[in-house]
């Protein structure tokens, strides 16, 4: 498992909501990804879930009462405020949102929250009608003005049984927001990066199409890694697994022509273009409007023409361009030829005949070649780690 939050000290504030049980999963997920997690609960939160649940997950004492004489932390709860790298309130009730906005420090959670200098992420969860009240809206706006990050709530079925906007956001959304917040001061801050991922599809008829085995994982990991380092990322993808999240703006496409148009538009404001997508080299000249029937035919001929060459077409001055070369033989020479013919700054070559680093794998082994002909071998590593090594090379050459 990738340790996105390795040794980061994260405090989770849990309030009295039916969604409090989800905070146990949040604590578990953050800890599994390397974070040191402390939990502070309001008294009402303990009515929904016992502090021992969090203690079992985090292996650390849970703070509830500022004045508990049996607590090892006790009044030293401010140590948590001072040591925290990030403070998350999830779920955040209307009560706690309003107290934070007005500075009412009448419990351990709010007292610690108001004392911390760490970034704060508030994830509201409440009845939909309550969330729509102007008082709550105003208090959330105040928190944003104070520099707090606010995520959610989502729309869905609420505890009342009604459908409305008030559900706690999903745990993966909170994790992505945490990664975005930690990346704000990263070495890619201020950079606008366009990344492509997935294999494009070229239809033969409404049912059949020509495509390839690309899963989109490598490009998706590059997008995430760039976001985690502070970049604003535009991800142009045909991958089903690609998702929009904090710091990543997703543009879904299917064909090579659609990808070209999306990349051209996104690149107008971009500093770097990383073409990790497997774009179809060929497409049918004529696409049947109806499903092609067999009708006793044993063979069928389909005339093909070249698809859009995106890297050669996008010619924005100053745009740093990175290509990928998925090869089965003569890897380095073929990749170097592609780098030169398309005017790239960097190319990433990989051997797709190696099953241990296949399309669906979370691992990859690549050779990174720059425009000066310098090649760097990256042995089998997690694709997220490979993504960061690629970004390191981009940064070294771009600066």
Element (H, E) at 86: strand 86-92
The residues pairing with 192 across neighbouring beta strands, listed in sequence order, are 232
Phi, psi of 14 (to 5 degrees): -115, 125
Q: Is the dihedral of CA 365, 361, 349, 395 positive or negative?
A: negative
Element (H, E) at 224: helix 217-228
The two structure tokens encoding residue 290: 């109806």
Which residue, among 83, 72, 156, has the nearest Cα to 116 in the 3D structure?
A: 83
In the residue annotation, 213 being an active-site residue is answered as: no
The two structure tokens encoding residue 21: 């049980």
Asked whether 136 and 125 are in contact (CB, 8 A), the reply is no
Give the integer Cα–Cα distance in Å for 32 and 36: 9
Give the integer Cα–Cα distance in Å for 370 and 335: 10
Helix, strand counts (H, E) of the chain: 14, 19
Give how far the C-alpha of residue 80 lies from the chain's centroid of Cα atoms, to the nearest Å. 27
Cβ within 8 Å of residue 306, ≥6 positions away: 281, 282, 283
Give the integer Cα–Cα distance in Å for 254 and 276: 15
Identify the active-site residue in 6, 212, 333, 372: 212
Phi, psi of 131 (to 5 degrees): -65, -30
Say if residue 142 is exposed, middle or buried (CB neighbours under 10 Å; 0-12, 13-18, 19+). Answer: middle
Say if residue 138 is exposed, middle or buried (CB neighbours under 10 Å; 0-12, 13-18, 19+). Answer: exposed
Give the integer Cα–Cα distance in Å for 271 and 322: 11
Asked whether 169 and 248 are in contact (CB, 8 A), the reply is no
Pairing of strands 320-327, 346-351: parallel
Q: Report DSSP state, residue 82.
A: H
**Catalytic (active-site) positions:** 212
């Amino acid at each position: 498992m990738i340790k996105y939050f390795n040794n980061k000290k994260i405090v989770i504030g849990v309030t009295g909501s039916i969604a409090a049980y989800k905070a146990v999963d949040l604590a578990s997920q953050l800890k599994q990804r390397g974070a040191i997690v402390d939990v502070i609960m309001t008294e009402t939160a303990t009515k929904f879930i016992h502090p021992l649940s969090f203690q079992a997950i985090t292996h650390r004492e849970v703070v509830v009462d500022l004045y508990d004489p049996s607590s090892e932390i006790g009044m030293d709860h401010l140590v948590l405020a001072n040591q925290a790298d990030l403070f998350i309130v999830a779920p955040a009730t209307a009560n706690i949102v309003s107290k934070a906005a007005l500075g009412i420090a009448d419990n351990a959670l709010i007292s610690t929250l108001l004392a911390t200098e760490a970034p704060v992420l508030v994830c509201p969860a409440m009845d939909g009608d309550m969330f729509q009240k102007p008082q709550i809206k105003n208090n959330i706006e105040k928190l944003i003005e104070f520099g707090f990050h606010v995520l959610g709530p989502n729309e869905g079925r609420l505890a009342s049984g009604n459908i409305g906007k008030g559900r706690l956001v999903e745990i993966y959304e909170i994790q992505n927001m945490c990664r975005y917040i930690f990346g704000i001061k990263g070495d890619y801050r201020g950079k606008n990066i366009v990344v492509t991922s997935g294999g494009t599809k070229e239809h033969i008829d409404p049912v059949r199409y020509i495509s390839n085995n690309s899963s989109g994982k490598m490009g998706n990991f590059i997008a995430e890694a760039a976001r985690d380092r502070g970049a604003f990322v535009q991800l142009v993808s045909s991958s089903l697994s690609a998702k929009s999240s904090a710091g990543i703006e997703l543009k879904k496409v299917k064909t090579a022509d659609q990808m070209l148009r999306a990349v051209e538009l996104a690149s107008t404001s971009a500093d770097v273009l990383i073409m990790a997508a497997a774009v179809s080299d060929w497409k049918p000249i004529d696409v049947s409007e109806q499903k092609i029937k067999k009708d006793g035919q044993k063979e069928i001929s389909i005339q093909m023409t070249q698809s859009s060459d995106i890297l050669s077409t996008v010619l924005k001055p100053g745009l740093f361009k990175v290509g990928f070369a998925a090869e089965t033989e003569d890897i380095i020479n073929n990749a170097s030829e592609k780098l030169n013919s398309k005017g790239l700054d960097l190319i990433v070559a990989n051997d797709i005949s190696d099953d241990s680093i296949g399309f669906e794998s979370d691992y990859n082994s690549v050779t990174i070649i720059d425009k000066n002909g310098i090649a760097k071998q990256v042995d089998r590593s997690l694709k997220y780690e490979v993504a960061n090594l690629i970004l390191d090379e981009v940064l070294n050459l771009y600066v």
